[in-house]
C-alpha cells in the first residue's frame, strides 16, 4: 500500500481529498489475497463494502471521527448480513442487526471488512482451536498468533485494517496483542456494550480493541464506550481520580521474583526487566507486591465454577451437537458439569475474599505491570500439549475480569528471533485513560487526544493568568474540585497581552499567524470533573473564552484564548514568558 492505515494519517488523506475510502477498501482486499495466515472467516465482497462507503460519501470527513477507517470484527460479534460462527460452522446464525459496538463504529464512519478467525467459542489463548485453521503469527507463521481473538490481531499487524474488535474474558484481547506487536485495550468491564456478542462468560466478557498505537486505540474507545440499556452488564463510566499516567511520579507494582514466570524464556525475562527500567525512566517507582491474590483469582476461571458459565452460553447446542465442537474446546467445557449451585456460591465467596486481598495491594500502588505472557510457542508445540501450554499463556491474564480491572497490553521489544514481546499495564476499574496515558508515554507515540478525557468524565484546562495557583481567580477552579496537574509552557505559537481595565487585571493569549513570530507562554494545566466544566466556562467574560491550546510537548488541551480584536490597545508582554513574570517585574 502507498498509504498508512493509522487513523490520523488516513483521516488527513481524506480531509485533503488525496484519498477516497473506496480506493482504500479495494487496496485492502487486494492485500488480503488468499489469506495465508488464516485471518478471515468471512470477508465482505466489494459490493457489500461499497454500501458502507456510499452511506458516508456525502458527509464531511471532519464530522465523523472514524470516517472511512477500515476495521475487522471477531466472529463472535454480530455484523448484520454476515454469519456469526464463533469458530463453529454448525453453530452459525445470520443476525439481522449489528452488535451495539459495531453499530456505534459504523455510525462514526468506520467501514467493516469482515469477520475474523478465533479459538472456537472464544475458548483459548492460542489461536489454534478453529476448524478454519490455526491463525498464524504475523511475524513468524510457525508460531501461534495468540487467541482467542487471533484473526483480529493479525489483521491489524499485517496492515489489512486500521483497528479491530476482539473479546477478552481471560486474556483474549491482550495475548494476541503481545504476540503481534500491537496495543490491546481491555476496557473496564461494562464500558463497551456486549449486546450482540455471543458470550463466553457473560458476567466477565469485554469487547477489546487492537490498534497500532495508543492514539488509535483511544480514538476507537471514545466511540465504542457508552452505556447501553440493552446490555444488563453495561456500566456508567466513572471519573478516574489520580492520573498516574501523566504524573511526574507514580508507583507500579511488580510480582516478586519467585512469582514471575517466563517458562524457560530468558529473553522474555530480560525484555520485562528492560520494560521496568523504562517505567523508572519516566518517573515510575517499582513496588514489589505479593501476587498471590491475583494468581488465586486466575485459577477460579478454569478450575472453579466460572467454567460452568461457558457451558451456560451454549447449553442447547453443546448438548445436541457436541460432536461438532472442537475436541479441546469440548473437553474444557464438558468439565463444567461437575459444578453444583453450591460450588458457584462458594466460588463467589472465595472471589470476594480475593478481591479484598487485591484491594490492599492497590492501596500501595497506582498500577500493576506484568508480562502479557511469559513466553510464546510454536503451533506444533501447542497442538501437542494444548491445555497445559494454554494455561501458561493465561498466567498473567486470567484474573483481570474476575477482579474487575482495566488493562492495556503494550509492545515491549523483540526477542532475538524477531518475535514480539509485550507487557500489560493494569489498574482497578475505570482507570482506562490513565493506563492509556502511561502506555503512550512508554511508547513515545502520538499523544492521546485531550478529547478522550471526556470518556472518564474529566477535562483538562490550561490557564495563563488570574486563574493560576495563588492568584485572585484560582478559587473558581478549586471551588469546583479542580487540581493542578502540571506547570508547563504553550507551544511557541502565541503572544500574551496585558488587557486594559478589569478587576483583577487579566492577560489575553492569542495564537499568531503562521508567518508571525510567537513565544512559548507559561501555563498551568488543571483538571476538573466534566460536570463542573460548563459552569466554569459560563463565568468567563468576553473577550476571553475557551478554545484548543497546544502545549510545548505537542498535546492539545482546552485553554484560555482571547479574541484578536481585544488586543489592539493592549500591551504585548510576551517577552516576559508568562503572567507571573510580568506581575513580578513588568509593571
User: Are residue 372 and residue 508 in the same domain, yes or no?
Assistant: no
- The model carries a pTM of 0.79
User: Are residue 433 and residue 468 in the same domain, yes or no?
Assistant: no
pLDDT at 487: 85
Query: Last residue of some domain: 427, 453, 479?
Result: 453
Q: Residues in the chain, how many?
A: 587
User: Are residue 419 and residue 483 in the same domain, yes or no?
Assistant: no
Give the integer Cα–Cα distance in Å for 156 and 185: 14
Give the integer Cα–Cα distance in Å for 251 and 286: 6
Q: Supply the angle between the helices 341-362 and 292-303 in degrees, to the nearest 10.
A: 160
Residue 97 domain-assigned (yes or no)? yes
Q: Which residues pair with 143 in a beta bridge?
A: 378
Give the integer Cα–Cα distance in Å for 113 and 107: 15
Can you give the CATH number for the domain in which 521 is found? Answer: 3.10.490.10
Residue 56 domain-assigned (yes or no)? yes
Contacts of 231 (CB under 8 A, 6+ apart): 100, 190, 193, 194, 195
Q: Where are the alpha helices (DSSP H) in 455-512?
A: 475-478
* Sheet containing 183-186, strands listed edge to edge, beginning at the edge strand earlier in sequence: 40-43, 111-116, 70-74, 163-168, 206-211, 183-186, 405-414, 420-428, 367-371, 250-255, 284-289
pLDDT at 514: 77
Give the integer Cα–Cα distance in Å for 262 and 258: 11
Active site residue 74: yes
Residue 1 domain-assigned (yes or no)? no
User: Are residue 297 and residue 429 in the same domain, yes or no?
Assistant: yes
User: Are residue 439 and residue 476 in the same domain, yes or no?
Assistant: no
Cα dist from 289 to 252, 266, 293, 366, whole Å: 9, 22, 10, 12
Residue 520 domain-assigned (yes or no)? yes
Query: Last residue of some domain: 432, 453, 474?
Result: 453
User: Are residue 444 and residue 475 in the same domain, yes or no?
Assistant: no
Give the integer Cα–Cα distance in Å for 542 and 126: 59
User: Are residue 303 and residue 434 in the same domain, yes or no?
Assistant: yes
Give, as one character, the DSSP assignment of residue 357. Answer: H
Residue 2 domain-assigned (yes or no)? no
pLDDT at 445: 56
HSE, CB side, 13 Å, CA atoms: give it for residue 148: 26
Could you write out the three-class secondary structure of 13-80? HHHCCCCCHHHHHHHHHHHHCCCCCCCEEEECCHHHHHHHHHHHCCCCHHHCCCCCCEEEEECCECCC
Q: Within a 10 A sphere around the Cβ of 219, how many other Cβ atoms?
A: 27
Give the integer Cα–Cα distance in Å for 40 and 74: 9
User: Are residue 131 and residue 179 in the same domain, yes or no?
Assistant: yes
Residues spanned by the domain of 568: 457-585
User: Are residue 462 and residue 448 in the same domain, yes or no?
Assistant: no
Query: Last residue of some domain: 394, 421, 453?
Result: 453
Q: Which helix (H) or strand (E) holds 431?
A: none
Residue 361 domain-assigned (yes or no)? yes
Query: Which of 429, 428, 531, 523 lies closest to 481 in space, CA to CA?
Result: 531
Q: Choose, from 152, 172, 219, 275, the residue flagged as catalytic.
A: 172
User: Are residue 471 and residue 428 in the same domain, yes or no?
Assistant: no
Query: Which of 157, 165, 81, 159 lies closest to 116 in space, CA to CA?
Result: 165
* Burial call 243-263: b when 16+ CB within 10 Å, e when fewer: bbbbbeebebbbbeeebbbbe
pLDDT at 586: 60
Residue 239 domain-assigned (yes or no)? yes
Q: Choose, from 74, 115, 186, 489, the residue flagged as catalytic.
A: 74
Q: Which residues does the chain have with pLDDT short of 70? A: 445-458, 586-587
Q: Are strands 507-511 and 494-498 parallel, antiparallel or unpaired?
A: antiparallel
Q: Supply 318's cell numbers.
A: 453443546
User: Are residue 434 and residue 523 in the same domain, yes or no?
Assistant: no
User: Are residue 521 and residue 440 in the same domain, yes or no?
Assistant: no
Q: Where are the alpha helices (DSSP H) in 225-340?
A: 266-281, 292-303, 307-313, 315-321, 327-334
Q: Choose, from 130, 145, 148, 450, the residue flagged as catalytic.
A: 148
Active site residue 148: yes
pLDDT at 587: 55
pLDDT at 51: 97
SS3 state of residue 388: helix
Domain count along the chain: 2
Amino acid at each position: 500500500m502507498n498509504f498508512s492505515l493509522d487513523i490520523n494519517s488516513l483521516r488527513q488523506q481524506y480531509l485533503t481529498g488525496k484519498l477516497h475510502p473506496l480506493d482504500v477498501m479495494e487496496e485492502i482486499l487486494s492485500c488480503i489475497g488468499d489469506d495465508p495466515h488464516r485471518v478471515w472467516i468471512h470477508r465482505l465482497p466489494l459490493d457489500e463494502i461499497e454500501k458502507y462507503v456510499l452511506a458516508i460519501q456525502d458527509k464531511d470527513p471532519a464530522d465523523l471521527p472514524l470516517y472511512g477507517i477500515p476495521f475487522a470484527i471477531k466472529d463472535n460479534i454480530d455484523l448484520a448480513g454476515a454469519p456469526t460462527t464463533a469458530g463453529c460452522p454448525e453453530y452459525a446464525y445470520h443476525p439481522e442487526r449489528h452488535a451495539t459496538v459495531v453499530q456505534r463504529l459504523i455510525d462514526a464512519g468506520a467501514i467493516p471488512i469482515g469477520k475474523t478467525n478465533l479459538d472456537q467459542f472464544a475458548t483459548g489463548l492460542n489461536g489454534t482451536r478453529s476448524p478454519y485453521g490455526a491463525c498464524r503469527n504475523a511475524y513468524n507463521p510457525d508460531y501461534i498468533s495468540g487467541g482467542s481473538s487471533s484473526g483480529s490481531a493479525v489483521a491489524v499487524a499485517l496492515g489489512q485494517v486500521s483497528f479491530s474488535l476482539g473479546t477478552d474474558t481471560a486474556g483474549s484481547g491482550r495475548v494476541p496483542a503481545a504476540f503481534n506487536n500491537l496495543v490491546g485495550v481491555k476496557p473496564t468491564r461494562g464500558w463497551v456494550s456486549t449486546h450482540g456478542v455471543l458470550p463466553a462468560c457473560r458476567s466477565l466478557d469485554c469487547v477489546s480493541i487492537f490498534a497500532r498505537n495508543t492514539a488509535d486505540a483511544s480514538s476507537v474507545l471514545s466511540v465504542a464506550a457508552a452505556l447501553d440499556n440493552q446490555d444488563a452488564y453495561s456500566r456508567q463510566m466513572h471519573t478516574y481520580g489520580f492520573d498516574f499516567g501523566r504524573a511526574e511520579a507514580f508507583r507500579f507494582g511488580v510480582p516478586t521474583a519467585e512469582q514471575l514466570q517466563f517458562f524457560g524464556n530468558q529473553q522474555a525475562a530480560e525484555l520485562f526487566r528492560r520494560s521496568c527500567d523504562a517505567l523508572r525512566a519516566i518517573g515510575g517507582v517499582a513496588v514489589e507486591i505479593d501476587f498471590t491474590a491475583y494468581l488465586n483469582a486466575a485459577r477460579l476461571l478454569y478450575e472453579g465454577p466460572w467454567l460452568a458459565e461457558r457451558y451456560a452460553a451454549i447449553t442447547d447446542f453443546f448438548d445436541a451437537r457436541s460432536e461438532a465442537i472442537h475436541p479441546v474446546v469440548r473437553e474444557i467445557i464438558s468439565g463444567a458439569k461437575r459444578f453444583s449451585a453450591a460450588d458457584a456460591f462458594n466460588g463467589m465467596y472465595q472471589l470476594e475474599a480475593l478481591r479484598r486481598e487485591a484491594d490492599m495491594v492497590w492501596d500501595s500502588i497506582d498500577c500493576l505491570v506484568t508480562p502479557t505472557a511469559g513466553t510464546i510457542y510454536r503451533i506444533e508445540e501447542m497442538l501437542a500439549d494444548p491445555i497445559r501450554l494454554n494455561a501458561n499463556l493465561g498466567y498473567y491474564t486470567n484474573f483481570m475480569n474476575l477482579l474487575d480491572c482495566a488493562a492495556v497490553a503494550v509492545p515491549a521489544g523483540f526477542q532475538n528471533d524477531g518475535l514480539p514481546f509485550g507487557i500489560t499495564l493494569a489498574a482497578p476499574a475505570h482507570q482506562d485513560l490513565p493506563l492509556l496515558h502511561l502506555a503512550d508515554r512508554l511508547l513515545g507515540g502520538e499523544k492521546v487526544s485531550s478529547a478522550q478525557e471526556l470518556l472518564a468524565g474529566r477535562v483538562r484546562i490550561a490557564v495563563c493568568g488570574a486563574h493560576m495557583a495563588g492568584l485572585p481567580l484560582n478559587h473558581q477552579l478549586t471551588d469546583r474540585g479542580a487540581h493542578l496537574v502540571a506547570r508547563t509552557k504553550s507551544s511557541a505559537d502565541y503572544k500574551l497581552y496585558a488587557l486594559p481595565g478589569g478587576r483583577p487585571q487579566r492577560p489575553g493569549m492569542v495564537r499568531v499567524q503562521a508567518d508571525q513570530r510567537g513565544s512559548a507562554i507559561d501555563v498551568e494545566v488543571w483538571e476538573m470533573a466534566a460536570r463542573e466544566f460548563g459552569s466554569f466556562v459560563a463565568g468567563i467574560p468576553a473577550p476571553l473564552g475557551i478554545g484548543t491550546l497546544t502545549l510545548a510537548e505537542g498535546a492539545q488541551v482546552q485553554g484560555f484564548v482571547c479574541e484578536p480584536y481585544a488586543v489592539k490597545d493592549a500591551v504585548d508582554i510576551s517577552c516576559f514568558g508568562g503572567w507571573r513574570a510580568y506581575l513580578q517585574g513588568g509593571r
